[in-house]
Amino acid sequence: MAEKEISQAVISRLPRYFRYLGELKDEGVERISSQDLSVLMHVTASQIRQDFNNFGGFGQQGYGYNVEYLYTEIGKILGLDHTHNLIIIGAGNLGQALANYMNFERRGFVFEGIFDQNPALYGKQIRNLVVQPMENLREFVTAHNIDIAVLCIPKTAAVAVADDLVKCGIKAFWNFAHVDLNVPESVEVENVHLSDSLIKLSYNLNANHHEA
Ligand code: NAI
């Protein structure tokens, strides 16, 4: 779509637009003005217009945006117009919690398998998945057309495991291990650190609720 480079700040706001528009669509809302969307999302209407202008504006503002169209177009930009096949590496607390959460599939992220190196976990069923040994990885990634690996293993193991996964054909990592992966530039990495978010909350709590 857009030829120019879109800033990461804009990209990082798209999932939220997508989520709100999905809810509006589910409620049967057909059109919404940038003004109404701004009230709903607590961002300024000019921010919304500026963000959307990166992608050609998405239609005439005088009549508001067509919700279904906007939802579909933002979905396409986010690569959500097709499904992604994922595997989880590490079937501990976090890996199992993610495997048990069903809503990712609604957005087209399908967990196809879960792997661990602990033989005590082999064969354990987590929702519709069965924990498999790491030895099965290579064949599985190819057979199930896996593009994303979710790393839920300790940081001491993550770098080496990621290397192996790249060799197996993994193109993207959703990395929960607290370490920077050392993968080729062509491989996408999204690091998730829940504690960063919690620490930000702590900062705001401190800054806004304490007398100076
Ligand atoms: P856990 O100890 O319950 O599970 C880790 C699993 O990884 C175990 O089943 C273990 O057998 C497996 N494992 C270890 N080395 C492996 C390897 N080389 N190959 C395959 N499997 C391997 O730990 P938990 O609580 O599930 O946390 C997992 C990781 O995620 C930890 O490193 C933790 O620090 C991190 N974490 C990160 C969060 C975040 O927000 N980024 C939040 C919670 C945990």
100 Cα–ligand 1 center, Å? 16
pLDDT level of residue 1 (50, 70, 90 thresholds): very low
Total Cβ atoms within 10 A of residue 54: 17
CA of 94 to the centre of ligand 1 (A): 7
pLDDT band at 52 (very low <50, low <70, confident <90, very high): very high
Confidence of residue 60 (pLDDT cuts 50, 70, 90): low
Q: What number does the ligand 1 atom closest to the CA of 93 have? A: 26
Return d(Cα 149, Cα 171) in angstroms, integer: 8
Mean pLDDT, rounded, of the chain: 93
DSSP H helices in 44-176: 45-53, 67-77, 93-100, 103-106, 137-143, 155-168
Residues contacting ligand 1 via CB (< 6 Å): 89-95, 116-118, 121, 134, 152-155, 157, 161, 176-178, 192-195
Closest atom of ligand 1 to CA, residue 91: 9
The full set of domains in the chain, from first to last, is: 8-77 (1.10.10.10), 84-196 (3.40.50.720)
> How many angstroms is it from 177 CA to the middle of ligand 1?
7
Q: What mean pLDDT is predicted for residues 148-158?
A: 98
Task: Give 95 Cα–ligand 1 centroid separation in angstroms.
Answer: 7
Taking alpha carbons only, the member of 195, 200, 159, 152 closest to residue 174 is: 152
Residue corresponding to tokens 């701004």: 38
Q: What is the pTM of this model?
A: 0.89
- The Cα-based distances of 209 to 20, 62, 117, 131, 202 in angstroms read 30, 41, 46, 46, 10
What CA–CA distances, in Å, run from 4 to 53, 55, 112? 12, 9, 35
